[in-house]
Structure 1
Amino acid sequence: MRPKIICHMITSLDGRLLPSRWSDSADAKIWDLIEAHYEPVAGELNAGGWVVGRKTMVEYIGQDEHPELLGTAMPRANAFADAQGKHLAIAIDPQGRLRPKPGDMEDEHLVLVLSERVPNTTLAKLTQAGVSYVFAGPDGDRVEQALEAIGEAFGVDRLLLEGGGVTNGAFWAAGLIDEFSVLICPTLDGLKGVPSIVDAMGDADQLPGEGQGLRLVSSEVLDGGVVWLRHEVVRAFRH
């Protein structure tokens, strides 16, 4: 069984994800609200780590703009370093572009989800940096397989998905999100095209979440007018 995936996000009232674009609310400064609520609420969810895409993780560690890839995928073995009891920081990085250095994530253990086209030279560098890595098939898109391996190796049964809209959208379309935990700030973004909670790729006539419905678990008004909503995902949902 893969770990339970809770998509934990903080958004404007219109579901946008870039706090730098949000104006202060009538009662509080936006960054004060984010600092007061996002991490404390995440702690209440009792997860063993968090998952993001490469673009989010590159805010913490470096990357190679032009990574070397094998022309043909090869069978690979997952490699798990000693996490030393730390929470996991998991990045979906099919091309192996991230280039962590020892000590980049001192308080957390970094795990990269790769495709089987990543060469041995890259894997050797990851091992040298003390990073764990797991393979998600030839193209790096078998994420459920990778999550199952991570859960078994590290004994975690719950992870927070804290990606951008595209990563969250890929998880949603694949049926890999089990719950949403969303903090809604009393502010608006209002601009078309700004990343939102879920931005699944595809045509306008597609329904990436077809067969999945949401059921409200709890709602709570926090200090400063932030609303915390929790919804469980119900499979085989039909209108």
Structure 2
Amino acid sequence: MRPQIICHMITSLDGRLLPSRWSDSADRNIWDLIEAHYEPAADSFNAGGWIVGRKTMAEYVSQEEHPELLGTAMPRDNAFAVAGDRSLAIAIDPQGRLRPEASELADEHLVVVLSERVPNATLAKLNQAGVSYVFAGPEGDRLEQALTAIGEAFGVERLLLEGGGTTNGTFWTAGLIDEFSVLICPTLDGLKGVPGIVDAAGAPDDLPGAGQGLRLLSSEVLDGGVVWLRHEVVRASRH
């Protein structure tokens, strides 16, 4: 069984994800609100780690600006380094562009999810940095396979998905999100095209949204007017 996946986000009222665009609330600086509520809410889940896409993880570790060309998919073996008591920082990086140094993310254990087409040189660099990696099929899109392997290797039962809208959309369309935890700040973005909680690619008829309803688990008004909503994903049976 794969770990439970909770998508944990902080947004404006209209579900947008760029705090740099948000105005302050009536009585609090927006960054003070984020600092006061986002991490404490995340910590309450006692998760074994967090998941983001390659672009977000590149804010924390180095990456290759001009990646090596992908080759033909071939059988690959997952490689798991010792995490100790560190939580997991999981990056979805099918092309293998991340080039972490051993000193980066030292307080957490980095796990990279790759496609089976990445060059051997990429794997050698990850091994050298003491990074774990796991393969998600030929194109890197078999995420449930990768998550199950991570859960079994590290004994984690719950992970927080904290990606951008595109990464969250990939998990959503794959049916891999079990719960949403959304902190709504008392501010409005309003600009069309700004990333949202879930930005899934594809035509409307291709998306399974109608088959994944939500059940409210809890709602709470926090200091500064932030509203914390938790919803369980309820997958409708298909006939």
Give the TM-score taking structure 1 as reference length.
0.97
Q: Match for 1:163: what amino acid?
A: G
Root-mean-square deviation (Å): 1.1
1:116–1:69 Cα change, 3 Å: farther
Q: How does 1:1-239 map to 2 (within 5 A)?
A: 1-236=1-236
Consecutive unaligned residues of structure 2, counting only runs of 5 or more, are none
Partners of 1:196 and 1:237 in 2: how far apart? 27
For 1:9 and 1:142, how far apart are their aligned partners in 2? 23
State the distance in 2 between where 1:204 and 1:180 align: 21
- TM-score, structure 2 length as denominator? 0.97
CA contact (8 A) 2:168 2:198 kept: yes
Identity of aligned residues (%): 82
Deviations 1:100-146 (A, max 9, x none): 00110011000000000111111011011010000000000000000
Moved beyond 4 Å, runs of 4+ = none
Does the residue aligned with 1:113 lie in a helix, a strand or coil? strand
Once the 2 structures are TM-superposed, how far is the Cα of residue 237 of structure 1 from its aligned partner? 5.9
**Does the CA-based 8 Å contact 1:200-1:208 persist in structure 2?**
no
Contact 1:166 / 1:198 at 8 angstroms: preserved in 2? yes
Contact 2:71 2:119 in 1 (8 A): no
Which secondary structure does the structure 1 equivalent of 2:117 belong to?
Answer: coil
The CA deviation at 1:67 is 1.6
Any stretches of 5+ residues in structure 1 without a counterpart? none
User: Offset at 1:70?
Assistant: 3.9
Label 1:73 to 1:17 Cα distance change in 2 as closer, same or farther (>3 A). same
The one-letter amino acid paired with 1:227 is V
CA distance in structure 1 between the partners assigned to 2:131 and 2:11 by the alignment: 31
